[in-house]
Amino acid sequence: MSARIIDGKTIAADLRGKVSDAVHRLRRDRGVVPGIAVVLVGDNPASEVYVRTKSRAVADSGMRAFDYKLPASASEAQLLDVVAKLNADEEVSGILVQLPLPRQIDAQKIIAAIDPAKDVDGFHPVNTGRLAIGLPALVPCTPLGCVLLAKTVHETLAGLEAVVVGRSNIVGKPVAQLLLAENATVTITHSRTNDLPSVCHRADLLVAAIGRAEMVRGDWIKPGATVIDVGINRVPLEAGKFSVVGDVAYAEAAQVAGAITPVPGGVGPMTIACLLLNTLRAACAQKGLSAPKM
Ligand code: NAP
């Protein structure tokens, strides 16, 4: 068997196109222009690349992008001050503080200071709690992207046996909550799970969010299963070069799975598309408008 490749690039481009159209209509019919503030503290090169990519995507979608850059030496109080100003700014529909933050700043304190209605990363405890108890919430972008990709394969996720490998607050836990909300039967696994290969082998839908290059092998996968690989791992090659691989051994897994996301080009592009979607939803909610269906 050779798995269908879930083309995240194309699916994300389609979603971004729909968000752009909705932004255009919102501006034309209601005079509302969603805006997102991206706050970067310090000069972590990976974060700078992410922030540049995000800002470009925001501008391409017709939304406003407000970029804030603070030095690596910025204090927690300075960052809290920026967040308070953005909370109060009506032109800002969504606030994203790029993580990780320098050591002197408590990330949880910053996340908790963001207005939950503008929390387009979906990390605020209010949104986390709302997701957990089944209320409408802004939900984290990468997990949302995983679920949207799975739904391109399965008309409904209801009743599927879903196994999530990884329990981080950023990916594993929220993706499990979203799958539960879709009525999948969800198992969350982690580094202390006994006999992980057997647990994975039960999955109709396997989500790998581990951060370990190609850890999930082909023989862990149930024939015909859908595999969503969240991992992004840099593997060194010769002469200072590197390649990027997922948490799933792709070549092996593609022989067994029914559908699989590649790395790169699977979950990654969905993250930014879902950030735009969240910002659009946040802007509509703040203006008392119902969010356009996607
Ligand atoms: P994380 O915070 O390091 O969490 C990793 C999880 O994997 C933890 O729950 C850990 O278990 C579990 N784990 C580690 N080793 C394991 C093992 N041997 N067996 C079973 N479970 C194991 O990572 P993360 O932030 O969730 O990110 C996961 C991956 O997704 C990374 O490669 C990251 O780069 C990628 N990522 C991609 C995107 C995207 O846009 N595509 C976005 C976010 C993250 P314990 O809790 O027991 O330690």
Predicted confidence pLDDT, tens digits, the chain (294 residues) = 699 999 999 999 999 999 999 999 999 999 999 999 999 999 998 899 888 999 899 999 999 999 999 999 999 999 999 999 999 999 999 999 999 999 999 999 999 999 999 999 999 999 999 999 999 999 999 999 999 999 999 999 999 999 999 999 999 999 999 999 999 999 999 999 999 999 999 999 999 999 999 999 999 999 999 999 999 999 999 888 999 999 999 999 999 999 999 999 999 999 999 999 999 999 999 999 998 888
Tokens representing residue 138 in the block: 């802004």
For 58-79, give the DSSP string.
Answer: HHHTT-EEEEEEE-TT--HHHH
Tokens representing residue 216 in the block: 């999930």
By most ligand atoms within 8 Å of CB, the mutation choice from 199, 232, 234, 270 for ligand 1 is 232
What residues act catalytically?
Answer: 54, 98, 121
Coil, strand or helix at 151? helix
CA–centroid distance, 89 to ligand 1, in Å, is 35
Q: How far is CA 276 from CA 57, 255, 281, in A?
A: 8, 34, 9
User: For residues 200 and 216, is the Cβ–Cβ distance under 8 A?
Assistant: yes
CA pair distance 210, 215, nearest whole angstrom? 8
Task: Please report the sign of the dihedral spanned by the C-alpha atoms of residue 21, residue 25, residue 26, residue 28.
Answer: positive
Tokens representing residue 80 in the block: 């809290």
- C-alpha dihedral (24, 27, 29, 32), degrees to nearest 10: 140
- The pTM is what? 0.97
CA pair distance 74, 247, nearest whole angstrom? 35
CA 74 to chain centroid, in Å, comes to 27
CA–centroid distance, 142 to ligand 1, in Å, is 12
CA pair distance 260, 18, nearest whole angstrom? 24
Q: Which pLDDT belongs to residue 294?
A: 82
By most ligand atoms within 8 Å of CB, the mutation choice from 190, 233, 270, 276 for ligand 1 is 190
Q: How far is CA 286 from CA 62, 94, 221, in A?
A: 18, 10, 43
263 in contact with ligand 1, CB cutoff 6 A:
no
Helix axes 172-181 and 141-153, enclosed angle (nearest 10): 50
Q: How far is CA 201 from CA 57, 157, 175, 206, 234, in A?
A: 37, 18, 19, 9, 26
CA–centroid distance, 210 to ligand 1, in Å, is 3
Question: Cα Rg for the chain, rounded, in angstroms?
Answer: 19
CA pair distance 32, 29, nearest whole angstrom? 8
Q: Which DSSP helix (H) or strand (E) runs through 86? A: helix 76-88
Q: Which pLDDT belongs to residue 1?
A: 64
CB count within 10 Å of CB 64 equals: 18
